[in-house]
Amino acid sequence: MAEILRLDPIRCDGHGMCAELLPELIALDDWGYPIITRGPIPDRLLDHARRAVDVCPVLALRLRHTSTTHGAAAVPTPAGAGGR
């Protein structure tokens, strides 16, 4: 079972600490809000992903298990998620 990153865009305050810990999968937009790469997290990045989730001060970033390995379907994105 793979894991994916989910962002709650309502909670996210754009602190940007997650992107510092996981630049391979999280970029920041012009306002400092994360843009998350869709799809399963590669095994080699799971520890970094867990740390990125742990440092989020507002619990906006979460890991979620998914049974699919198809990236586009793995991350249901509410309006505005990851792209403010």
Binding residues for ligand SF4, rule: CB under 6 A, are: 7, 12-18, 34, 56, 58, 60-61
Closest CA to 51 of 19, 81, 27, 14: 19
Smallest gap, in angstroms, from Cβ of residue 12 to ligand SF4? 3
Smallest gap, in angstroms, from Cβ of residue 48 to ligand SF4? 13
CA 31 to chain centre: 16
Between residues 15 and 38, which has the closer beta carbon with respect to ligand SF4? 15
Token readout for 54 is 């742990």
Smallest gap, in angstroms, from Cβ of residue 29 to ligand SF4? 10
Between residues 18 and 74, which has the closer beta carbon with respect to ligand SF4? 18
Question: How far apart (Å, rounded) are the C-alpha atoms in residues 18 and 11?
Answer: 14
Between residues 62 and 71, which has the closer beta carbon with respect to ligand SF4? 62
CA 43 to chain centre: 15
Rg (CA), the chain: 12
